């Protein structure tokens, strides 16, 4: 049985089965499978999309500083206030401030790289089923597009067999312009993320689809629950990819 959820989406794999998958009303299970498996390139966000955010781990553990540092306490208090106000830009702004204040030196960046290069530590942060999902796309090139630091992204990209990454990327539509121009052989795009930033990236790709430059764009959103679904994505999943993996088999 297919269950309806918010907006114009339906659940193909329900929460009662564990991991869940919601899709736009017009898509069948077979069409979702075909669209995802035919993609030849995947552009995906990283933090809170493929893994519990390393940026949050860094902030919670006061990496590069310590919990009693006055500057850190100021930063933490201001962040908490912004979160209470439900400021939509808080994570991006506060992460930028944290990097500038505590992660600016070469030595600290090297420590970050070595910290996340610990295989078991990195693997614990990756969401269930993520590795299996990417294994389901053997013919698709995979790139991270993230605001995070390269020293953090590199270990995870290596762990998951990625072909490259674009770190500290704050203008994703502009990146799309360059990526499409530099890689005309890519025709079927998969975009994945947990926010409107990825929808902006996808909208830019749809411009190229309408102009005939590329063939298709499919989007996957990652949400905490079916109650937090963004209607802009073609497919939305929870933070356990096993439901999507089962759908692709």
Whether residues 38 and 82 share a domain: the answer is no
My answer on whether 243 and 161 are in the same domain is yes
Question: What's the Cα-to-Cα distance from 150 to each of 63, 93, 145, 193, rounded to whole Å?
Answer: 16, 18, 11, 18
Out of 67, 95, 116, pick the residue that ends a domain.
Answer: 116
The predicted-structure confidence for 103-133, as pLDDT tens digits, reads as follows 999 999 999 999 999 999 999 999 999 999 9
Contact yes or no for 58/112 (Cβ under 8 A): yes
Say which CATH number the domain at 234 has: 3.40.50.1000
Cβ-Cβ contacts under 8 Å for 158 (sequence gap 6 or more): none
Q: Indicate whether 144 and 23 sit together in one domain.
A: yes
Residue 36 lies in a domain: yes
Residue 17 has pLDDT above 90, yes or no: no
Residue 7 lies inside a defined structural domain of this protein: yes
The reply to whether 38 and 60 lie within a common domain is no
- What domain range includes position 237? 3-51+126-248
Instruction: Note whether residue 151 is domain-resident.
Output: yes
pLDDT band at 82 (very low <50, low <70, confident <90, very high): confident
Q: Which of 116, 145, 164 is the last residue of a domain?
A: 116
The pLDDT, as a whole number, for residue 124 is 95
Q: Answer yes or no: is pLDDT of 97 > 50.
A: yes
Asked if residue 169 is part of any domain, the answer here is yes
Query: What mean pLDDT is predicted for residues 224-247?
Result: 91
* Mean pLDDT, rounded, for 56-75: 95
User: Which one of 69, 85, 116 terminates a domain?
Assistant: 116
Judgement on whether residues 181 and 243 belong to the same structural domain of the protein: yes
**140 and 175 share one domain:** yes
The pTM assigned to this predicted structure is 0.92
Reference 156, options 102, 104, 187, 118; nearest CA is: 118
Q: What CA–CA distance (Å, rounded) separates 80 from 74?
A: 10
CA distance 75 to 66: 12
Same domain, 182 and 90: no
pLDDT digit string (tens) for 147-168? 999 999 999 999 999 999 999 9
> Does residue 45 sit in the same domain as residue 61?
no
Is residue 121 in some structural domain? Answer: no
Confidence tier at 90 by pLDDT (50, 70, 90)? confident
Phi-psi region of 121 (alpha: psi -120 to 50; beta: other; left: phi over 0): alpha
Work out the pLDDT band at 92, boundaries 50, 70, 90. confident
d(CA 157, CA 155): 6
Choice among 11-15, 30-34, 140-144, 163-167 with the minimum mean pLDDT = 11-15
Residue 212 gets the label, from left (phi > 0), alpha (psi -120 to 50) or beta, of left
pLDDT of residue 9: 85
Structurally, how many domains does the chain consist of?
Answer: 2
């Amino acid at each position: 049985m297919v269950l309806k959820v918010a907006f114009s989406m339906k659940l193909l794999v329900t929460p009662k089965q564990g991991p869940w998958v919601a899709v736009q009303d017009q898509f069948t299970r077979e069409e979702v499978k075909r669209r995802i498996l035919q993609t030849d390139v995947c552009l995906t966000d990283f933090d809170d999309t493929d893994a519990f955010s390393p940026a949050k781990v860094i902030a919670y553990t006061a990496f590069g500083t310590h919990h009693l540092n006055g500057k850190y306490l100021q930063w933490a208090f201001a962040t908490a206030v912004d979160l209470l106000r439900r400021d939509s830009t808080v994570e991006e702004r506060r992460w930028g401030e944290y990097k500038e204040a505590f992660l600016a030196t070469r030595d600290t960046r090297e420590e970050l790289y070595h910290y996340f290069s610990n295989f078991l530590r990195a693997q614990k942060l990756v969401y269930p089923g993520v590795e299996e999902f990417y294994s389901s796309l053997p013919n698709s090139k995979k790139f991270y597009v993230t605001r995070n630091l390269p020293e953090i992204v590199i270990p995870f990209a290596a762990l998951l067999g990625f072909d490259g990454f674009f770190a500290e990327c704050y203008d994703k539509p502009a990146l799309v312009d360059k990526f499409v121009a530099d890689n005309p052989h890519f025709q079927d795009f998969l975009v994945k993320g947990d926010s409107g930033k990825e929808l902006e990236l996808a909208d830019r790709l749809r411009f190229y689809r309408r102009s005939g430059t590329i063939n298709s764009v499919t989007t996957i959103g990652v949400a905490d629950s079916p109650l937090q679904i963004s209607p802009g994505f073609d497919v939305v999943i929870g933070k356990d990819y096993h439901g999507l993996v089962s759908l692709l088999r």
